[in-house]
Each structure stands twice: as C-alpha cells, then as structure tokens.
Amino acid sequence: MKYILFTLYIILIQTEISAQSNNISYLSYNKANEILNSSIRANGNFLDIQCMQFKIQGRDMLLSHIRKPWATVEYPFQGNFTMDENYENKMISRTLKKSGHIGMVMSKKDEVYVKYYSSNDTVNVSGELAKYFINSLTQMLPHLILAEAVRNRETLTYIGDEKIGEFAYNVISFNNQQGKRRLIYVDSQSGLVFKVQNLFFDKQWPHGDVIEETIYTEYKLINGIPIPTFKIVKSSDVIIQSYEFSDFMINVLSDSSAFEIPNSTEKGEVKSTQNDDAIDISNLLIEEVGEHLYTLYLPPLDCKSMIMEFKDSILVIESATNSEYGTLIIDKIHDYFPNKVISTVVLSHYHPYSMGGIRAFVHAGANVVTTKGNEDYAKFIINAPYSLQADSLQLNPKIANIIIVNDKKIVFSENNLKVEIYDIGIKSNHTDEFLISYFPHEKLLFTGDICFVPKNYDDKTQVSSRTRGLYESIVELGIDVDTIIPNWPSKASSYKEMVSFEELEKFVLKK
Ligand SMILES: [Zn+2]
C-alpha cells in the first residue's frame, strides 16, 4: 500500500506536468492545506510553544552484520530532548544503559554538532550526514513535522485517504528544506498525526528505495497540548527505534547554556560508508591464481571476487557491496573474457560485501547460488524498487533464477575444472549459513570475511572466532587445502591477502 501511495504521488505529479493545467495542483494543494490546518488545530496551539524538554527511555535497534538477514543489535539508553525558542535549536543527549557512554546530536539552526558515544570530542558535521541528523531531530515530535510543513507550505500535495485497521487517515505530502519528501498520515477523526513517512535510497544496505516510518502513539494532554508519549521508527518494516517520552517541561528552559558549543569541537568531514571516488574497469585488477582461475580485486572496497573460466561461460564468487560495483565487476569480466557469458554467481553469505551486487548479476543473466535461509533476503534485494538511483535491473527487469545449496554442498564442473562449494553454517562464527568455495585442482580455498591472519603477530594477538571456525571447518571437511584467499580484507589491510594452510594452522594453534 505504501508503494501504491508513492506511485500515486508520482502519477499526480506527472499528470500535473502533462496536463499543462493548474486545476489538479490547486485542488490538491487546497485539500492538503485544509488537512494541514485542521491537524495544527487538533495538535493544540503548538506554534506557541517557545521551548520544551522531556525525558526519553529509548532503544535503538540497528541493522547489523550479524547472524541472519534483518537481525538488529539493540542499544538501550536514557536521554533528554531539548528544544529552545521557535524550534531554532534542538538537541538529544543520551547515555547508553550498558556502557554509560554519552552521545549527543545538536542542531543550531542548520549547523549540526555530534558527540559520538565514547568519544570526548564534539564534531561539527556537514553535508548528507548533517541533513540526516536534522531530519532525525525533526522527527522526534509530530509538532516539529507540522511546523516544517508550514514553512514549506507551497510544496503541499494531497495524496489520498487510507484505512489502516479500523482507522482512516488523510495523507498529505510536502518537501522539506533538505529536499526530503515527507508523507504525513493525519487521523481523519482526531486530526492528530499518526505517522510520517520518508522515502530514501539506502546506501548502507542494498535495499534500494526504503520507506522509513515514524509512528506516534499514546497521545496525552500536556499543558493543553496533545503530545505523543510513544514513538517507533520502522525501516523496511523492521523496527529500528522505540522511544518513550515523559517528564515534559513546556516553555520552561531550565538551563540556558544547553546550546553552547563545546570547546572541544573540531570541524568534521562527512562520514560516508562508500568511497565516492569514481573508478572504472581500468582500476580493477585481475590476477591468475590457477588453471582458468582468477581473482578480481576491487580497490575502493579492498575486496576480491573469484572468477572461474569455463569453455563458454564464467562463474563468479562474491558480488561486492552494491549494484554499481557489481556492474563494474561484470564489465571488467566482459572486457577480459570477451564472448563469454556470466552463467553463475555464488554468494558466500547475506552481508553486503558478498550479496550487495546481486542485482547486477541477475541483470547479466547469471544464476544466483545461495542458501535456503538467505533465499527470501536475496529475492527481497532483487525485487526491491530502485527508482531513486536506478540500476540496470530497475531499467531492464529480468527474472532471477536462484539455485539453493541443499545438503551443505554443491559442485560446478566442466572437464577437469571443478569447484566444490560447502555450507559451513554456524561454524563460520559469523552467519548462520556460510559458503566456502574449494578448487581441488589448485587445492585453493576462497572464503568470505572469515580469514584474518595478521602479517605480523605475537603471542598476545587474539585469534578471531571466525578464523578459528574456518580452520576447524577445513579440518572437519577433510579437504586438502594449500592456500586460502579471503574476499575481504585484502591488499590494503594488516592481514594477509593469501594464507597457506600451514600459516593458518600455526596462527590458530599458537599458545
Ligand atoms: Zn560478513
């Protein structure tokens, strides 16, 4: 239904442009404006709020690189939200319950200051990261969203009406100063804001267009103003925040120094999860490691894919983190091995470094090899809408053929070329299902991110549970391994990019 509404929105916009008529937009604007005004009245004279403080009992639940798709790690905290006059400056400060570390996000007008947990310094952030924090502070209360809609009234659009359970909602949208389009669901009976939706392109996970929903419930009258005392945030339908509000103080700002900028502030850079330097296929490095067997190195991610060259086709293992890099790998292979089709891509586990580029390979016509527990997640990525940053599969959809590894093993071979793929499961100490690829002719093993043997180490160096798990898996499978190549980390790290079995054994069994 969410996507239907966004589609409807796009259709409305297109209709407006193509009809060359202002009728639809005026009707839409007037109706949206009416709904906004009624919601402002229902939410009390909140525009008269000068300043405000309240306490938060919260839990952030972040999607993490852990055992299974959609798994989150929970960070419970106690915090405070503070807002000074006319919503100019806002701040949330919080203390993690387990560790006691303090974090803070403050926006002074459009300047954003962040103190990360366990850091003593406050960082002045800019760019996309600053926009992200301003948006998340604004989403703390529906009143701030309504105030934002008022400031951007000229972009108001009526989207439609929607029933959720027994309740009916009027849905309007507007574009905020950051260029972010928000949908507001206004309860058609009470006029209160039920939820706010944002659509964004996920750059951390290969989830494409993601709808983030902030849902406000448990409204209570505080100083005559209805204020929600419970808020959750969902992303791709997974709950990522759950906050309870209490101890409200309205129009009483106890501490005027709250918004002073700490002395320890440094100018920070935008922290991006991706290296934005443009690269082309000339930056990718193909190295021969056996008979018709090659590694392909992708410098920005410091990761490798493995290429097995059959007579007419190519098998690839690992697809890098996203469609863009997946396409680059495919282009490099087509350039290096002209006239060969990429028949198969094997994905060791569900994390982005392995599965992120899956869509590019589906577009290239490759069969996708994964495990049962990751099948639905692989399909989710393949079928996700990518309208905000269209990739090849979005522009030219293809049907995916998924091959599931049953009974812990699958083999691909042609003449004397052979790869045996094993699911070592939880023995990876990383994810519930985990494929490693063994090339018996070369006695070579290609793994995901489970082989960390330092270039230099001493007796005190810890052996990671993943590395130990890999060693034990090789011994248990009884495969004759000479050399191990991990897909990540690779050339740019303090770990070995190629490890002999003896080196692995010596490291794991050291005192
Ligand atoms: Zn991983």
Spans of all domains in the chain:
2-75+142-252, 281-508
pLDDT at 379 over 50: yes
Q: How far is the CA of 421 from the centre of ligand 1 (A)?
A: 17
Q: How far is the CA of 448 from the centre of ligand 1 (A)?
A: 7
Residue 456: other Cβ atoms inside 10 A: 6
Q: How far is the CA of 348 from the centre of ligand 1 (A)?
A: 9
- Maximum mean pLDDT: which of 131-140, 176-185, 260-269, 317-326: 317-326
Beta strands in 111-250 (DSSP E): 111-115, 122-125, 157-164, 167-175, 181-187, 193-201, 209-222, 225-235, 238-250
pLDDT in tens, 278-329: 789 999 999 999 999 999 999 999 999 999 999 999 999 999 999 999 999 9
In the CATH scheme, what architecture does the domain 281-508 have?
Answer: 4-Layer Sandwich (3.60)
Q: How far is the CA of 68 from the centre of ligand 1 (A)?
A: 10
In the CATH scheme, what architecture does the domain 2-75+142-252 have?
Answer: Clam (2.50)
CB hemisphere CA count around 168 (13 angstroms): 4
Whether 2-75+142-252 shares its CATH topology with 281-508 is answered no
Q: Which of 158, 141, 312, 316 is nearest to 233 (CA)?
A: 141
Residue showing tokens 């060359």: 20
Q: How far is the CA of 70 from the centre of ligand 1 (A)?
A: 13
Q: How far is the CA of 332 from the centre of ligand 1 (A)?
A: 24
DSSP 454: B
Q: Which of 75-89, 331-345, 460-474 has the lowest mean pLDDT?
A: 75-89
Q: How far is the CA of 109 from the centre of ligand 1 (A)?
A: 39
Question: Would you state the pLDDT for residue 347?
Answer: 98
Q: How far is the CA of 352 from the centre of ligand 1 (A)?
A: 8
Residue 206: other Cβ atoms inside 10 A: 24
pLDDT in tens, 170-216: 999 999 887 889 999 999 999 999 999 999 899 899 999 999 999 99
Q: How far is the CA of 272 from the centre of ligand 1 (A)?
A: 19
Q: How far is the CA of 4 from the centre of ligand 1 (A)?
A: 34
CA 334 to chain centre: 30
Q: How far is the CA of 353 from the centre of ligand 1 (A)?
A: 7
For residues 54 and 252, is the Cβ–Cβ distance under 8 A? no
Q: How far is the CA of 65 from the centre of ligand 1 (A)?
A: 6
Question: Would you state the pLDDT for residue 273?
Answer: 44
Q: How far is the CA of 241 from the centre of ligand 1 (A)?
A: 24
The two three-digit tokens of residue 216, written as one number: 């406000």
Beta strands in 72-179 (DSSP E): 72-83, 89-96, 102-108, 111-115, 122-125, 157-164, 167-175
Q: How far is the CA of 66 from the centre of ligand 1 (A)?
A: 7
Residue showing tokens 């300047």: 111
Q: How far is the CA of 416 from the centre of ligand 1 (A)?
A: 31
Residue showing tokens 């699911």: 423
Those residues whose beta carbon sits under 5 angstroms from the ion ligand 1 are 351, 449
Q: How far is the CA of 118 from the centre of ligand 1 (A)?
A: 25
pLDDT in tens, 322-349: 999 999 999 999 999 999 999 999 999 9
Q: How far is the CA of 218 from the centre of ligand 1 (A)?
A: 39
